[in-house]
Structure 1
Amino acid sequence: MGSVILALFLAGYLGQQYLPPPKPRVVGLDLGTTYCSVGVFHPGVGDVEVIADEAGRKSVPSAVSFTPTRVLVGHEAQDLADSNPQNTVYDAKRFIGKVFGEDLLKQESARYPFQVINNNGSAEFLVTTNHTFTVSPEFIGSRLLLKLKEMAEKQLGVPIQKAVISVPAEFDERQRNYTIRAANLAGLEILRVINEPTAAAMAYGLHKVDVFNVLVVDLGGGTLDVSLLNKQGGMFITRAMAGNNKLGGQDFSQRLLQHMMDQVRLTFGIAATLKEDIHRLRQHAEEAKLNLTLRPSVSIQVPLRLHAAETPGAPKPPVVFKMTITREVFEELNADLFQKILAPIQTVLTEGRLEREEVDEIVLVGGSTRIPRIRQLISQFFGKEPNTSVDPDLAVVMGVAIQAGIMGGSWPLQVSAIEIPNRHLRKVNFN
């Protein structure tokens, strides 16, 4: 008997060392407000892979556009946001599973070019192509998740039917269930729902090290969420949450876009009103914002058809708008918005009864936390540098992929990070 057991152990060891590891069958999904991603944990080697699309991009815009002939998802949909604004739906995560009164829904939907209607307390989006119809937020989510599923299947070469998905910590049971429903519509069985701050902490490896108080600052394209986590062994407790659901990278880009449009008016004596001109300026504003995280200044050149709006019957050659934007100008344009980031941080410390020096790790999530001035403000507030060892754009999906590996029984993962729900928790929102 002893020799048989020894032989089995030896066979298992040799298998782990020399046989190719099995393909992962459970994926991790980050269905973000602005971008979404999919990742897997590779058994045996212990590596997390964030799966890229055919163009090598690891994040897919959370947008779906409807045309008379096609339904476009991700980058293709984002490209139609200016030319087909009424039928291009984004930020659907803000509406999924949420119960609205008439006044609140009007207030929430006022910022969008597409039409949002109230169906017995649930939000739906009105789409008009060859005919008029409505789609639900979970349907929009399902199209995005189907795209992620197809990306994973193409990369891994196996069918994917099971997943772990992340949600904001403040999502209630209804919102979580509707998120699961979106995944089910995409042909996915959800094995577990994990809070985004906990997923981020796992990506940074904080479920393994001697860290007790973790503050997660999640600043993406459209929202700011701050969470204070307390770790006890392998368990995470969310002690406090605060945020601003109307503050994010889109707002910083919009300030820069408005500045560029003002400069166009000053340079040429005419405002940029054509949709294609505004679209080009918006693209360059977004690109300049990203480049300014790495460089002190950027130069832009944008061809514009300004005078075509004045004389539509007589074609005019395009003009070229040239401008240099410095990091200092960008920071001045957004100074008041950057300061707003500190208010939720102060609130979660107060609610969690914690002094700032008692925070062991400050974790950054979301692409907007790359902005140097934002990192500087957070660093000055705490008197120490935040943890920047993980790509903030991919922190959540990497953590969810680790949890997916755990749920799939991947070796060498052995201990799951457990979340303890705090029934008395409330989120303080700043607008």
Structure 2
Amino acid sequence: MKTTSITRRLADLGGAKWDLHTAARERLDRGEQIVEMTIGEPDVSLPDALKRSAIDGLEAGRTQYSNGRGENGLREALAEIYYTRRGRRFDRDNVLCFPGTQTALYAVMQGVAEVGDEVLVGDPLYATYEGVIRATGAEMVSVPLKPEHGFRMQAVDIEARVTSRTRAILLNTPHNPTGAILRPAELEAIAEIALKHDLWLISDEVYEDLVFDGNSFTSPLALPNIADRVIAVSSISKSHAAPGLRSGWAIGPRAFMDALLPVSETMLFGNQPFIADMTEHAIRAGSPVAAGMRHRFARRAKYLADRLEAETALRVHRPEAGMFALVDVSPLGMDCDSFAWALLDKAGVAVMPGSSFGAHLTHWVRLALTVDDVAMTQAVDRISEFARSVSVAAE
């Protein structure tokens, strides 16, 4: 039996990137004492007020078909909060609602690229970006995010890769897996390239509410000179500890949203009204859990970096936001995959090899900061002992 070209384009983008995570889960199920630092889930439960809101919606019968664009109340709440945060006026017709950031990004990409086109994206990158680009038939073109620039995308590196086939630049700020935040001047320079070459600028901003103290976030949506070519995607998955409820959105020019509406309606005719009501409540009330998460994640990142850099040859890229930290394992003479598997086998700590996030992290591993403080201490103890044992063996 034959399948379509999209299945072939995505054939090598399956679960292999998560083999180590899967192996760690199997060992946990067998009763092994594994500290799991592979994936980023909020370290708190869904807030009670949101649970109550969703239940109230169910009890009120809010389970009918929705508006294809999403519920009006939610779209109006999003327009208001984005006006407050970005300093530009939006209305509900600037918004389409989706089940999570991933679906929003998939739909938006369908609206900006197709077979024969190219989309520029930073490398390292979130694991699904290549898939949403390839699904359109376009090719992903990697822009290296270099440690010497704090893993922040640089305009000169973008410019060097723009061709006549380029249609869009995909940004992720704050960034997964590095925790980097693009500076206003860097965004301005990237915006100039988008204007010069008539490119769309797509911004994944799901970690906006997890910016650590002392850092600040700027969205390209706040730049008025490129207002007609910026689409942002986000959700309540991280900010409100609600990843499993799948509630996200895209916001951008009304003309683009009007054009994208049939794509959205073909995928999913509107989001679930009771979840939309809960999300509206979340947006209007603000998050009761984001501040605690960002303080804990920042504290754990500092603890991790301070100890590993004092006790081992390892070096840590200190994140500015998000749920992860990167550790450079090259001083041990190991690549990311060898280090990660050996750490799991010998020390019982599961981390993600950088190779899961592109071609430019071959000597880095990603650690989730979402484990509790006791597990973090245990993990750092084990990593430190393991790294010292590798250094001794190499002498």
TM-score (norm 1): 0.26
Larger radius of gyration: 1
The structure with the largest strand share of the pair is: 1
More helix by share: 2
TM-score scaled by length of structure 2:
0.28
